[in-house]
Amino acid sequence: MQKPIIAIDGPAASGKSTTARLLAARLGLVYLDTGAMYRACALQAERLAVPLNDSSAIEAMMDEMPLRVELSGGVNRIYLGDEDVSQQIRSEHISKQASAISALPSVRLKMVELQRKIASNGGFILDGRDIGSYVFPDADFKFFLVADPEVRAQRRVEELKSRGSEVDFQEVLADILQRDKNDAGRELAPLKKMPDAIEVDTSNLTIEEQVNVLQDIIMQKQDATKIYLAEHSGFCFGVRRAIQMATEAKDLGRKVCTLGELIHNPVVVNQLAAQGITVCDDPSHLENHTVIIRSHGAPREVYEALEASGNTVVDATCPYVKRAQQLVQEMSAKDYQVIIMGDEHHPEVIGMRSWGNGSTLVLAPGSTPELVLHSKVCIVCQTTKKPEDLAAMSAWFSTRVQELRIFNTICLATQQRQKATADLAQNADLMIVIGGQNSSNTTQLFQLCQRYCHCQKIETDEEIQPQWLEGKQVIGLAAGASTPSQTILSVFNRIKEIIGEPERVTTIGEIPLYKEESC
């Protein structure tokens, strides 16, 4: 959602630097000459008489390296301290030294750190040997320029002659071949073409033609519809845990069932049924079963009834929900009126309320009681609710009771998911929210997206209507906590199919923006 990072890699004299500079000017981006940075390191080593085979001396030099890069009008000025060395680093001798010094880990790590710092916010074109493979492996565009060694040698000869240097073609060719070998064989970040890099053979192209080729590719991709997946979408920790516990329960040697749907997603429920894990909605009919309490939890009396009938109970209640239940029980015992902010008929809230007492009250977000019964009030909330709703309810009670205790029982994954979804929705033309129709957290995401853009809510890719996508440049995807990765993949690939793009993904991590929850 920011200006792109464009990586141009390739062997020496393949046209990377000139192409990168001209392309940056055309696209209004900044060119960062990474090669010049290594040349400056080589110049510093020569001035200080530091041998390139003395790793400790090189490391000490890098710790004190006064390198500075100034960017102005598309021009890179390289400084060592206060001295502008932009011209001194361009000699053929320093070029050879730069190739050698760039292979040293202490040098490379320092320069890569600096390059990432400079270009991290996007809007840069960088060229080198390992930009797309090591420095910026997630670059928006990756190119790998190649050319015949003889062509590259002739280019280097003409470049050096233009600077007044007389050189021998065969010597330059030998140097080119040796540098190729050194760059490809170095241990840290060797020269290599990444699978997602676009190779361009520049042997028979002028510089203008090279720039045109890269620009055409970039413009075509930028004009294409972009599809992003909000961070933290899909299965949360509690859901993964519940499914694993259900699968492991099959080995206990009894009939296995879940008390209600394990999670609010029909795809997962059907997959479990195929494994022999059925759904039972009435616990009074169960005897001598292995009964899995779903991630939403269950009322206290259900646990007691199941155990009295000889059932083995596997409690897959989400730890966040379990904590909320315990708080309701503890605060009720301490004579607080417990207010549960949530949906009165949601199974999670029904279970939470059972751990309280006769004064425990459920309030929907945005609502208030007709009167406050107690001077001491404790607020907990359904784990999938929004923090701002909890804050509003807490503020209302704060002026009406003598003592107020508030527990934020909204799970971290829910908060991460909602923030990431809102951030994406504000930059999208269309949001598609994926999840079970009965899923509370999916509904929350859908309602959140409606504040910012047009959105649709679906369970599977089969529900996508092609007309939804017409004229949409940025399509955002978000998925509830009970949505399997495979469903998200199917939706992404179906959108790609509808808009006529051939690329497909096989793992959720390949979809732009996505990253797994941190809890």
Question: For residue 334, which of 366, 374, 286, 274 has the smallest C-alpha distance?
Answer: 374
Sign of the C-alpha dihedral computed for residues 412, 416, 422 and 425 taken in this order: negative
Question: For residue 175, which of 117, 99, 106, 231 has the smallest C-alpha distance?
Answer: 99
Six-digit token string for 248:
């492991």
Between CA 288 and CA 264 the distance in angstroms is 26
DSSP assignment, residue 294? Answer: P
Between CA 376 and CA 425 the distance in angstroms is 40
Question: For residue 257, which of 237, 235, 281, 239 has the smallest C-alpha distance?
Answer: 281
Residues 6+ apart with CB under 8 A from 181: none
Which ranges of 288-336 would DSSP assign to H, the alpha helix? 300-308, 319-333
* Separation in Å, CA 426 to CA 232, 367, 451, 475: 17, 27, 9, 11
Six-digit token string for 69:
């890069």
Sign of the C-alpha dihedral computed for residues 31, 34, 182 and 189 taken in this order: negative
Residues 6+ apart with CB under 8 A from 415: 387
Active site residue 304: no
Catalytic residue among 348, 403, 501, 510: 348
For 70, phi then psi, to 5°, come to -110, 135
Residue 376 bridge partners (DSSP): 403
Please identify every residue annotated as catalytic. 348
